[in-house]
Amino acid sequence: MWDDIADKDIAEKTFTDSLNHMFDSMLELRQEELIARERTHGLSSEERRELWTLNQELAKK
Protein backbone atom coordinates (compact mmCIF):
# COMPACT_ATOMS: atom_id res chain seq x y z
CA MET A 1 0.00 0.00 0.00
CA TRP A 2 2.63 2.54 1.03
CA ASP A 3 4.82 1.59 -1.89
CA ASP A 4 1.95 2.35 -4.28
CA ILE A 5 1.57 5.83 -2.81
CA ALA A 6 5.31 6.46 -2.94
CA ASP A 7 5.48 5.18 -6.53
CA LYS A 8 2.61 7.45 -7.55
CA ASP A 9 4.28 10.43 -5.88
CA ILE A 10 7.57 9.68 -7.63
CA ALA A 11 5.82 9.23 -10.97
CA GLU A 12 3.92 12.50 -10.56
CA LYS A 13 7.09 14.39 -9.57
CA THR A 14 8.99 12.92 -12.53
CA PHE A 15 6.17 13.81 -14.93
CA THR A 16 5.90 17.36 -13.58
CA ASP A 17 9.66 17.87 -13.75
CA SER A 18 9.69 16.61 -17.34
CA LEU A 19 6.91 18.99 -18.37
CA ASN A 20 8.65 21.92 -16.69
CA HIS A 21 11.92 21.07 -18.43
CA MET A 22 10.17 20.79 -21.80
CA PHE A 23 8.42 24.14 -21.27
CA ASP A 24 11.69 25.85 -20.29
CA SER A 25 13.40 24.37 -23.35
CA MET A 26 10.67 25.76 -25.59
CA LEU A 27 11.05 29.21 -24.03
CA GLU A 28 14.82 29.10 -24.50
CA LEU A 29 14.47 27.99 -28.12
CA ARG A 30 12.08 30.84 -28.89
CA GLN A 31 14.41 33.28 -27.14
CA GLU A 32 17.32 32.07 -29.29
CA GLU A 33 15.21 32.38 -32.46
CA LEU A 34 14.27 35.96 -31.63
CA ILE A 35 17.86 36.90 -30.78
CA ALA A 36 19.04 35.45 -34.10
CA ARG A 37 16.30 37.28 -36.00
CA GLU A 38 17.17 40.51 -34.19
CA ARG A 39 20.76 40.22 -35.40
CA THR A 40 19.84 39.48 -39.01
CA HIS A 41 16.59 41.32 -39.75
CA GLY A 42 15.61 43.27 -36.67
CA LEU A 43 12.47 42.72 -34.61
CA SER A 44 9.02 44.21 -34.77
CA SER A 45 7.75 45.93 -31.65
CA GLU A 46 5.64 42.85 -30.87
CA GLU A 47 8.68 40.57 -31.17
CA ARG A 48 10.71 42.91 -28.94
CA ARG A 49 7.98 42.69 -26.29
CA GLU A 50 7.93 38.92 -26.63
CA LEU A 51 11.72 38.74 -26.23
CA TRP A 52 11.58 41.02 -23.19
CA THR A 53 8.88 38.82 -21.64
CA LEU A 54 10.88 35.67 -22.35
CA ASN A 55 14.00 37.22 -20.83
CA GLN A 56 12.05 38.15 -17.69
CA GLU A 57 10.52 34.70 -17.36
CA LEU A 58 13.79 32.86 -17.91
CA ALA A 59 15.62 35.14 -15.45
CA LYS A 60 13.30 33.88 -12.70
CA LYS A 61 14.55 30.32 -13.17
- CB atoms under 10 Å from CB of 13, counted, come to 10
Cα gap 19→34, rounded to integer Å: 23
Cα gap 20→27, rounded to integer Å: 11
**pLDDT for position 4:** 78
User: The whole model's pTM is what?
Assistant: 0.81
3-state secondary structure the chain: CHHHHHHHHHHHHHHHHHHHHHHHHHHHHHHHHHHHHHHHCCCCHHHHHHHHHHHHHHHCC
**pLDDT for position 41:** 97
Residue range 14-35, pLDDT digits in tens = 999 999 999 999 999 999 999 9
**pLDDT for position 6:** 81
